[in-house]
Amino acid sequence: MVTSTATQLEPIGAPRDEVESVVVRFAGDSGDGMQLTGSQFTLATALAGNDLATFPDFPAEIRAPIGTTFGVSAFQINFGARKIATAGDAPDVLVAMNPAALKVNLGDVKTGGTVIVDSGTFTARNLKKAGFDADPLADDSLDGFQVLQIDISKLTTEAVKEHGVSNKEALRSKNMWTLGLIYWLYDRDRDPTVNWLRAKFGKLPNIAEANVAALNAGHIFGETAELPVGMRGFTVRQAEISPGLYRAVTGAEALAWGLAAGAKLADLRMVLASYPITPASNLLHILAGMKQFDIVTFQAEDEIAAVGAAIGASFAGSLGVTSSSGPGVALKGEAIGLAISTELPLIIVNSQRAGPSTGLPTKTEQSDLFQSVYGRNADAPLVVLASSSPSNCFDIGIEAVRLATKYMTPVILLSDGYMSNASEPWLIPDFDSIAPFPVQFAETDQAGEDGFMPFTRDATTLARPWAKPGTPGLEHRIGGIEKQDGSGNISYDADNHQRMTDLRAAKINGIAKDIPELSVEQGNENGKLAVVGWGSTYGPISRAVGNMRDDGYDVSHVHLHHIWPMPQNTGELLAGFDQVLVPEMNNGQLVKVLRAEYLTPAQALNKVNGQPFKISEIEDAIKGCLDGQSGEAK
Partner 1 sequence: MNAPAAPLKAKDFASDQEVRWCPGCGDYAILKGVQKTLADIGTPPENVVFISGIGCSSRFPYYMSTYGFHTIHGRAPAFATGVKLANPELDVWLVTGDGDGLSIGGNHLLHALRRNVNMQIMLFNNEIYGLTKGQYSPTSKIGTRSPSTPMGSLDRPLSPVLFALGANASFVARAVDTQQKHMPGVLQRAHAHQGASFVEIYTNCIVYNDGAFSSFAEKGTAAEGELLLEHGEPMIFGKDSDKGIRMKPGALELEVVQLGVDGIGEDDLLLHDETNRVLAGLLGAMQNPDFPVAVGVLYCEAAEAYESAVYQQVDAARAANGNADFNALLRSGSTWTVGD
Residue numbers 372-391 binding a copy of itself by CB under 8 A: 373-380
Q: Which helix (H) or strand (E) holds 169?
A: helix 167-172
Among 8, 62, 143, 377, binds ligand SF4 (CB under 6 A): 62
> Which does residue 405 touch among partner 1, a copy of itself, ligand TPP, none (CB within 5 to 8 A, set by kind)?
none
Sheet containing strand 383-386, strands side by side: 295-299, 270-274, 319-324, 346-352, 410-416, 383-386, 562-564
Query: Interface with ligand TPP includes 276 (CB under 6 A)?
Result: yes
Query: Interface with partner 1 includes 127 (CB under 8 A)?
Result: no
The CA-based angle 497-499-502, given to 5 degrees, is 110
Query: Interface with partner 1 includes 266 (CB under 8 A)?
Result: no
User: In the complex, what is the shortest distance from the CB of residue 63 to ligand SF4, in angstroms, rounded to a whole number?
Assistant: 5
User: In the complex, what is the shortest distance from the CB of residue 61 to ligand SF4, in angstroms, rounded to a whole number?
Assistant: 8
Q: What is the CA radius of gyration of the chain?
A: 27
Query: Interface with ligand TPP includes 333 (CB under 6 A)?
Result: no
Beta carbons within 8 Å of 23's beta carbon, 6+ residues apart:
76, 77, 78, 87, 88, 89, 90, 91, 92, 93, 110
Footprint on residues 385-424 left by a copy of itself (CB under 8 A) = none
User: In the complex, what is the shortest distance from the CB of residue 541 to a copy of itself, in angstroms, rounded to a whole number?
Assistant: 19
Footprint on residues 119-158 left by ligand TPP (CB under 6 A) = none
Q: What's the number of CA atoms in the CB half-sphere (13 Å) around residue 369?
A: 27
**How many angstroms separate the Cα of 560 from the Cα of each of 292, 301, 403, 516, 570?**
34, 34, 16, 10, 9
Query: Interface with a copy of itself includes 363 (CB under 8 A)?
Result: yes
The CA-based angle 509-513-517, given to 5 degrees, is 115
Query: Interface with partner 1 includes 312 (CB under 8 A)?
Result: yes
**Residue number, 79 or 275, with CB nearest to ligand TPP:** 275
Query: Interface with ligand SF4 includes 63 (CB under 6 A)?
Result: yes
Torsion sign over Cα 174, 178, 181, 183: negative
User: In the complex, what is the shortest distance from the CB of residue 241 to partner 1, in angstroms, rounded to a whole number?
Assistant: 5
Among 123, 216, 484, 489, binds partner 1 (CB under 8 A): 489
Footprint on residues 270-309 left by partner 1 (CB under 8 A) = 271, 273-278, 281, 284-285, 288-294, 296-309
Length of the chain (residues): 634
> Which does residue 66 touch among a copy of itself, ligand TPP, partner 1, none (CB within 5 to 8 A, set by kind)?
partner 1
Footprint on residues 156-195 left by partner 1 (CB under 8 A) = 192
Per-residue b or e along 448-464, where b marks 16 or more CB atoms closer than 10 Å to that residue's CB: eeeebbbbbbeeebbbb
How far is Cα 614 from Cα 547, in angstroms, rounded to an integer?
13
Torsion sign over Cα 550, 555, 556, 560: negative
> Which does residue 610 touch among partner 1, ligand TPP, a copy of itself, none (CB within 5 to 8 A, set by kind)?
a copy of itself
User: In the complex, what is the shortest distance from the CB of residue 117 to a copy of itself, in angstroms, rounded to a whole number?
Assistant: 23
The torsion angles phi and psi of 533, rounded to 5 degrees, stand at -125, 170
Which residue spans within 379-451 are E strands per DSSP? 383-386, 410-416, 423-427
**Residue number, 30 or 387, with CB nearest to ligand SF4:** 30
Q: Which of these, 569, 571, 541, 568, lies nearest to 557 by C-alpha position?
A: 541
Query: Interface with a copy of itself includes 482 (CB under 8 A)?
Result: yes
Binding track, positions 316-355, relative to partner 1; x by CB under 8 A: xxx-x------x------xx-xx---x-------------
Beta pairing class for 21-29 and 51-57: unpaired
Q: Helix (H, G, I), strand (E, B), or coil: what is residue 383?
A: strand
Structural contact between residues 501 and 379, judged by C-beta atoms closer than 8 angstroms: yes
Query: Interface with ligand TPP includes 64 (CB under 6 A)?
Result: no
Distance of CA 207 to the CA centre of its chain: 33
The string of DSSP letters for 400-414 reads HHHHHHHHT-EEEEE
Query: Interface with ligand TPP includes 275 (CB under 6 A)?
Result: yes
**Residue number, 223 or 379, with CB nearest to ligand TPP:** 379
Among 191, 599, 624, 633, binds a copy of itself (CB under 8 A): 599
Q: How many residues bind partner 1 (CB under 8 A)?
A: 97
The CA-based angle 53-56-57, given to 5 degrees, is 140
Distance of CA 367 to the CA centre of its chain: 15
How far is Cα 67 from Cα 371, in angstroms, rounded to an integer?
39
Query: Interface with ligand TPP includes 308 (CB under 6 A)?
Result: no
> Which does residue 354 touch among partner 1, ligand TPP, a copy of itself, none (CB within 5 to 8 A, set by kind)?
a copy of itself
**Residue number, 30 or 367, with CB nearest to ligand SF4:** 30
Query: Interface with partner 1 includes 582 (CB under 8 A)?
Result: no
Binding track, positions 21-60, relative to ligand SF4; x by CB under 6 A: ----------------------------------------
Footprint on residues 190-249 left by ligand TPP (CB under 6 A) = none
Binding track, positions 579-598, relative to a copy of itself; x by CB under 8 A: -------xx-x--xx-xxx-
Query: Interface with a copy of itself includes 632 (CB under 8 A)?
Result: no
Q: Which of these, 535, 300, 556, 307, lies nearest to 414 by C-alpha position?
A: 535
Query: Interface with a copy of itself includes 341 (CB under 8 A)?
Result: yes
**Residue number, 236 or 277, with CB nearest to ligand TPP:** 277
How far is Cα 14 from Cα 523, in angstroms, rounded to an integer?
42
Structural contact between residues 382 and 340, judged by C-beta atoms closer than 8 angstroms: yes
User: In the complex, what is the shortest distance from the CB of residue 285 to ligand SF4, in angstroms, rounded to a whole number?
Assistant: 16
Binding track, positions 357-386, relative to partner 1; x by CB under 8 A: xx----------------------------
Q: Helix (H, G, I), strand (E, B), or coil: what is residue 203?
A: coil
- Residue 274 pairs in a beta bridge with 299, 323
Q: Point out which span in 89-97, 113-121, 148-156, 256-264 binds partner 1 (CB under 8 A).
A: 256-264
Structural contact between residues 3 and 73, judged by C-beta atoms closer than 8 angstroms: no
**Residue number, 130 or 529, with CB nearest to partner 1:** 130
> Which does residue 527 touch among ligand TPP, a copy of itself, ligand SF4, none (CB within 5 to 8 A, set by kind)?
none
Q: How many residues bind ligand TPP (CB under 6 A)?
A: 9
Beta carbons within 8 Å of 106's beta carbon, 6+ residues apart:
94, 96, 115, 136, 141, 142, 145
Footprint on residues 334-373 left by ligand TPP (CB under 6 A) = 334, 358
Structural contact between residues 429 and 246, judged by C-beta atoms closer than 8 angstroms: no
**Residue number, 333 or 576, with CB nearest to a copy of itself:** 333
The torsion angles phi and psi of 552, rounded to 5 degrees, stand at 95, 10
Residue ranges that bind ligand SF4, judged by CB under 6 A = 62-63
Residue ranges that bind ligand TPP, judged by CB under 6 A = 275-277, 303, 327-328, 331, 334, 358
